[in-house]
């Protein structure tokens, strides 16, 4: 039975990672800081009606402020994202971004890269898969909808050379990531046998409302990925999450030193648990509020 369910679990999880990103929190953190692990679902959830039917996949904006009074007016918002979503979702985020002094965004790209409106041409394997998924799910692609041309948007990620060097130093490759996913997906299915299976995927593919059913199956994967998070990072972290988060927060430190007060970090939802842990531990910030945005409409059509 486990073997029969494995292909769907692995495939859906891989797609989920490409669309959402992944996160990790160190288990050895003291209680207050280890609480970030319990808060991992603070950044992504499925809202449901009174009959437990899915309404929407939602992402959050969580605000952090200093614990003391030494940095008055500072606020750092973790703006969680999925990389394909409804157009209205990205429109709402574009409007929200106008409220900040600076928006730090993720993109493994050379220093000085400018993203034109509409996203420009994307030739990577990841972008090709993401584009295929957004068409299958009847959604829009983040790079095509978010306006990165605004002057207060600042790149806060690794360059391709830095990414490759970090993977080399850690002994990582896309093959090792693949193998970790395979192992973890089997463990995930064993710990949660009620999760989406190959039958769910097959039925969704042949349903008259294929995009809705696929979105529901994938949303279920998004909100049950704790095992995958830890597997991808391993005990020493990973380039995919840990090192990219470090790069983003190095830029954050520079922006704070430059006097910026209202700062957003716009990253995939899977990065946020680790981001939260680092903001608490390294920047002495605390979460104060959260606001939710509807990324995918999961309601059945009437």
* Res. 297: pLDDT tops 90: yes
- Rounded to whole angstroms, the Cα distance separating 103 from 95 reads 12
Output the pLDDT for position 16.
Answer: 54
Mean confidence (pLDDT) of the chain: 79
* Res. 194: pLDDT tops 60: no
Tell me what the mean pLDDT of segment 61-66 comes to: 97
* Res. 75: pLDDT tops 70: yes
pLDDT tens-digit series, residues 205-251: 655 666 788 888 778 777 666 556 666 666 677 888 899 999 999 99
The phi-psi region of residue 196 (left if phi > 0; otherwise alpha if psi is between -120 and 50; otherwise beta) is beta
Q: Please list, in sequence order, all residues whose beta carbon lies within 8 angstroms of the beta carbon of residue 13, skipping any fewer than 6 positions away.
A: 181, 184, 185, 188, 221, 225, 228
Q: What percent of the chain has pLDDT over 90?
A: 44
Q: pTM score, two decimals?
A: 0.81
Tell me what the mean pLDDT of segment 154-176 comes to: 89
pLDDT grade, residue 117 (50/70/90)?
A: confident
Are 64 and 284 a contacting pair, CB within 8 Å?
no
- Rounded to whole angstroms, the Cα distance separating 143 from 148 reads 8
| Angle, in degrees to the nearest 10, between helices 210-222 and 125-136 | 130
Secondary structure string (H, E, C) spanning 103-146: EEECCCCCCCCCCCCCCCCCCCHHHHHHHHHHHHCCCEEHHHHC
Pick from 74-78, 121-125, 179-183: least confident? 121-125
């Amino acid at each position: 039975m486990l073997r029969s369910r494995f292909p769907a679990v692995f495939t859906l999880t891989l797609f989920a990672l490409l669309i959402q990103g992944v996160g990790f929190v160190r288990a050895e953190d003291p209680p207050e800081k280890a609480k970030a692990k319990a808060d991992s679902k603070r950044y992504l959830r499925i809202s449901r009606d009174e009959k437990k039917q899915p309404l929407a996949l939602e992402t959050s904006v969580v605000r952090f402020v200093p614990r003391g009074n030494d940095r008055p007016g500072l606020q750092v918002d973790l703006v969680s994202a999925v990389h394909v979503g409804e157009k209205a979702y990205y429109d709402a985020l574009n409007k929200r971004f106008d409220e900040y002094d600076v928006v730090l965004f993720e993109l493994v790209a050379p220093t000085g890269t400018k993203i034109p409106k509409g996203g420009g041409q994307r030739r990577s394997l990841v972008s090709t898969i993401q584009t295929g998924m957004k068409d299958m799910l009847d959604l829009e692609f983040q790079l095509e909808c978010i306006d990165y041309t605004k002057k207060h948007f600042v790149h806060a990620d690794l360059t391709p050379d830095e990414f490759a060097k970090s993977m080399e130093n850690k002994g990582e490759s896309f093959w090792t990531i693949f193998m970790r996913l395979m192992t973890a997906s089997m463990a995930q299915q064993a710990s949660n046998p009620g999760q989406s299976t190959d039958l769910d995927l097959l039925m969704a593919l042949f349903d008259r409302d294929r995009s809705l059913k696929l979105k529901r199956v994938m949303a279920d994967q998004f909100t049950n990925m704790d095992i995958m998070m830890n597997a991808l990072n391993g005990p020493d972290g990973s380039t995919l999450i840990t090192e990219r988060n470090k790069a983003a927060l190095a830029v954050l430190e520079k922006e704070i030193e430059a006097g910026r007060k209202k700062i957003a970090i716009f990253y995939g939802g899977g990065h946020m648990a680790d981001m939260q842990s680092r903001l608490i531990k390294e920047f002495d910030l605390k979460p104060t509020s959260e606001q939710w945005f509807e990324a995918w409409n999961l309601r059945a059509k009437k």
